[in-house]
Amino acid sequence: MMRFIIILCAPLLFFLFSHAHQEQVVVPETSKEGITYPSVVKLHPPAVHFAVALPLFTLILIGLYHLKDRKPDEVEFLSIILSSGGVIASAITGYVAHESMENLPIEKETLDLLHTHETLGIALAGLFSLITVLRFTYALRKTSFLHHLYVFLLLVGVALILYQGNLGGKLVYDFGLGVSR
């Protein structure tokens, strides 16, 4: 019974935590020189937070299952599905944001980094789709090879997501991309 309560409450908790930082700091109006970005660019940052947090949570959960010698269950399965959904949503919103920013006047170095960031995001969406398919296959046919394969791919995926976050951070904080100044 406890598992079903957790499964039902997890999406609610994620929704509540996603709206925790909606208050914005009022910045005094100064000269707005630079680029004005389309409002579609603002969809990517909220999706990115889920794409980083959920796979990391799933990896920690699987690690705890291994420490406790627990078999994968519904909570872990739901966690993988939510993780993949977060990564795919992040890739989609990133692609839309990229398409709206690609023709803006930005430096070549920034544009190259933006293309790398986009390519890795699409690859991560594919990787996490594969992880979900492997986990679903494992639910139907429980072999240790499938389990070890999807856990290994999840570990690789989380490492790539952290690298991807680093690239995104450079785009925003070093180059000011997506930030109206």
Domain ranges of the chain: 39-174
pLDDT of residue 26: 40
More confident position, 2 or 81: 81
Give me 20's structure tokens.
Answer: 């925790």
pLDDT given for residue 23 in this prediction: 44
Q: Would the CA dihedral through 138, 130, 81, 61 be positive or negative?
A: positive
DSSP string, 110-152: HHHHHHHHHHHHHHHHHHHHHHHHHHHHHHHS--HHHHHHHHH
Q: Could you tell me how many residues make up the chain?
A: 181
Q: State pLDDT tens for residues 136-174.
A: 999 999 899 999 999 999 999 999 999 999 999 998 888
Tens digit of pLDDT for each residue in 33-49?
A: 556 666 767 888 888 99
Checking if the pLDDT of 8 tops 80, the result is no
The chain-wide mean pLDDT, for the chain, equals 82
Extract the tokens encoding 152: 């290994």
Q: Is the pLDDT of residue 19 over 80?
A: no
Contact of 157 with 135, CB cutoff 8 Å: no
User: How many Å apart are CA 145 and CA 142, to the nearest integer?
Assistant: 9
DSSP class per residue in 6-74: HHHHHHHHHHHHHTTT---PPPPP----SPPPPGGGGGHHHHHHHHHHHHHHHHHHHHHHHHTTPPP-H
Give the number of other Cβ atoms within 10 Å of residue 119's Cβ.
Answer: 11
Residue 79 near residue 135 (C-beta atoms within 8 A): no
> Mean pLDDT throughout 102-118?
84
Cα–Cα–Cα angle for 66, 70, 129, nearest 5°? 70
Share of the chain above pLDDT 90, in %: 49
Query: pTM to 2 decimals?
Result: 0.76
pLDDT of residue 10: 56
* pLDDT of 104 over the 80 cut: no
Question: If you average pLDDT over residues 97-126, what whole number do you get?
Answer: 86
> Tokens in use for 93?
């919103």
| Residue with more model confidence, 26 or 103 | 103
pLDDT > 60? residue 175: yes
Q: Report the pLDDT value the prediction gives residue 64, as an integer from 0 to 100.
A: 94
